[in-house]
Structure 1
Amino acid sequence: MMEDRILFILRRTYWVGNTRRQDLVDAFNLKNPQRASEAIDKALKLYDKYLERWGARGGVTWRDGVLPPPEAAPGKIFALLQQGAPFHETGIRTNTELPVRLQYREAYRPDDESLEMIMRGILEQKLTRVLYVGLRRREVARWRWIVPRSLEFTGRQWRLLGFDLSDDTETLKSYVLSRIQDIQYDTPPRGQSGRVQQLHERPLDYKGGVYKVDLNDNLTPDQRIAIKQELGITGTNLQISDRDVYEFMRLYGDAEPSSEIVWPPVTGIRKLETRKD
């Protein structure tokens, strides 16, 4: 806990310019302000290269001209902001000091019991049976035997990656967690134990390969620079996982969804009037 408070002081002091005892009291809900003073004293000793005493009430300020260590660097703080990290982790009040709006709601996640089964299925190499519904036309939920291998987060969806025992191609597939209706552990079908173990142990390759990207001819030079930065394109090349190419082209290109898929799932949206009594 003391380490968390010291890290808070380091980050807040660099970004806001100073840290007061009240900041620590607010961030960590301290009942005794003396605990805040103790944290400030330890931070001053540990990070004396960066911090110095400030104010009559034992606050801390940043030494002029000193660059921050990695723990408080812009990239680290930005990553925390992107995750929606709370005040006691970032050191910055994101409701008043540096307002941050995270678009869209938090990605769906199942109840704790289902989450534990999904996670332990991967950790303990358990053959997992899931009641899953995809978006193929006229599809209904059906049971699938999955060799679970990994979790994937796209920023909007959590997915379970695994091998479907009914798929002879043994292609790594994704199962959106919000579409899993039930989950159970199971034993391998007769004669499948060796195959299941092999799929559990198969190395996963997320790197994919290098793809040549053709940008729209109507983009201006400045727009081309901006799009390359946004998408991580170097020259004309993009390093991307093979499994992500279709989704990449659906978001940024002209890929048409398969005719077998119900797409788009949303066909309209309208704001409802708020009733005033």
Structure 2
Amino acid sequence: MSITAGILYPGYSAEDDYPALERLLGGGISLPLVHTLMREDAHRVDALLDVGSAEVLAEGARELLTRGVQAVIWACTSGSFVFGWEGARDQVEKLQAVTGLATSSTSFAFVHAAARLGLDRVAVAATYPADVADRFADFLAHGGIEVTRLSSRGIVTAAEVGTLTREQVLEFAAANDDPTAQALLMPDTALHTAAWLDELEQRLGKPVLTANQVSAWEVLRLAGDPGPHEGLGTLFRQAGPDRGELGGAAPR
């Protein structure tokens, strides 16, 4: 089965996670990526609202449609949840009007991934400044997910997040887990994690959901990938649900 699932990615930081995921997923799966405009690299609310604006996403989507994709994801967590639940849903709907395809965003991918695994209590290890991390926790709460521990690394730019090493990522995850949480979420698509997903879970002894991982899972789910896949954490080891099982790309 051949699947081509499109990635809209802001700027440059950890976009190489997607070719890595593609290699790990094996033949028949393609994850073409288009970089969207980032006028300012800053995990700051005003900058994130611009990064996720309808005009910016539409421009990227039109380019992505030339790659023969079957579904599309806006692979930016902060550039979606910063709009709030209803705003993020509106963002996806406007983007889907451009793509004409099943479309979602990383923020909704986290909610759908948690539902797929039956999670309702999670810890969050966010690289963002605290005020931005708080908005992610609010978004999860709207999706019925309790955040039992919220940690912030306070990094302002995606470029800096992208420089964190394997050991720094593993240590950050382990230091910010909560024993009462069913899983740990790491919500920044600027953070490299693709090569270390199983290692992260082995270190913590529970599922770990990361932004690029759930983005790829969500867009492949929407494109009809049946799964399962090994080497990419608990989420990908599940047989894939059909498109309707978890509801629309942006639940109300």
Structure with the larger RCO, 1 or 2 (CA within 8 Å, 6+ apart):
2
TM-score (ref. length: structure 1): 0.22
Compare CA radii of gyration and give the structure with the larger one.
1
The alignment's TM-score, normalised by the length of structure 2, stands at 0.23
Normalized per residue, the structure richer in helix is 2
